[in-house]
Structure formats: structure tokens, C-alpha cells
Amino acid sequence: MSHEPSATRPTDPLTTEAVTRIVLRPIASPLPLGFFALGIGSAVLSTLQLEWVPLDQSEVLLILVLIFVVPLQLIAGLFAFAARDAGAGTALLLLSATWAGTSVTSLDSAPGEPVTAQAVFLLVLVPFVLALAAASAQTKPLFAVLLTLAAVRFGLTGLYEAGLGTAFQAAAGWTGLVIGAYALYAGLALLVEDGKQRTVLPLFRRGAARKSIEGDLREQLTSAQQEAGVRHQL
């Protein structure tokens, strides 16, 4: 009895999942560093706005901001992007550049004198920081409040620089101290959370931010295929 040769079966096409690997590298959270740098910078500049430091020593504090605050927020922002958090990365890098720009222009200006050009910059900056705060409010309300306070301070400082009176400067100074205290709490809460791998001090995470702490690895990776750097178009 003869046997006919069996027809060659077509090879099943490979699925995308079978040939694709997305490699993620765990890193430490950069947010505590960014929050602490923001808090320190805010408190330092508040001492100038509230005239607790003599005007002839303002250059020293502005240089310290450039050397200490700006690089730390820059590093925190870059690592936030590496950690796949575009909102935090954008906010921290925007704040870093703002600290750098205002510090340099203040160094080139007469101490204690309003600078109209700086007022324009700060007032234009306010809606952009508020937009970042609105985006963060959906998942990280603690971060959203911090950004809102920063926007308020930029606005108050801008009104002072526009020549509307020293009352706005004093209000900006006190707002900066509030930001310093708030950033201290937020940074500490994030450090404790990172060490314990669970929320200890309230951070009020919601939605995806809450799942990032309480969810499993599968939930973290499900949406990776839609993220920038993996998808073809930004």
C-alpha cells in the first residue's frame, strides 16, 4: 500500500509577543531628591524675599541655588523620565530651568530692584505649571498641590517684579516657606514608602499611581507597549 507524501504545513506566523522583549531597569525613585531640592531652594529664596538676609549677601544665596538646587532637580527630572513618569520629569526639569534662569538674571540685576523682563517670564510660566498640576491631580494630588503652590509663588513674584509693590514679594516669601515645609513632608513620605515598599505617611495616590504601589508586576507592564520609546510615534 503506497502512501502519498503529506502536504507541507505552512509555518505559523510569529506573533509580536513571541519575538519582542521590552527590558525595564529598576531605578530608585527620584522624587524625594526633587522634592527636597525644591523645598530647600524655596526656603532659601524666601529669606531674600522676606529680607531676613541682607541684600548685599543675595549673590551668595543665588550662587548656592545655581550650584545646589538646579543640578539636583535636573538629575531628578532626567531620572523621572527614565522611570517612565513624563509628568514628574517635565515638572522637575521645568522647575530646574526656572531656578537657573531666575538666579542668573537676578545676579545681573541690582539687588532689591524689580525686573520687568523677569516678571514677564514668571507670569507666562504660571499657566504651564498649573497645567502640570491639573494633569497630576488625577493620580498624584500631593504633587499637584505642590505644583499649584509653586505656580502661586511664581505669580506673586512676577507681580512684584512688575512693580506692583513689596506686599507681593512678602506674600511670595511666605508661600515659599510653605512650599519648603510641604516638600519636606512629601519627600519624607516618599522615602519611607520606598523603604517599606508600602504607603506609611499619607500620599493620597489615586488611579494608576495607586496601582503602581499596590498592584502586581503584570499590571505595571500591561501598558508598556503604548509608551514612548516603544511605540513608533511619540
Domains in the chain (CATH in brackets) are 29-214 (1.25.40)
Q: CA dihedral in degrees (103, 126, 46, 34; nearest 10)?
A: -80
Average pLDDT of the segment spanning 149-156: 96
pLDDT reported for residue 109:
84
Cα Rg of the chain, angstroms: 24
Average pLDDT of the segment spanning 56-72: 93
Task: Say how far apart CA 137 and CA 135 lie, in whole Å.
Answer: 6
Segment 26-38, tens digit of pLDDT: 778 899 999 999 9
Task: Say how far apart CA 167 and CA 146 lie, in whole Å.
Answer: 22
Whether residue 11 is predicted with pLDDT greater than 60 in this model: the reply is: no
pLDDT reported for residue 127:
97
Whether residue 83 is predicted with pLDDT greater than 90 in this model: the reply is: no
Average pLDDT of the segment spanning 157-184: 95
pLDDT reported for residue 210:
57
Q: pTM of the prediction?
A: 0.81
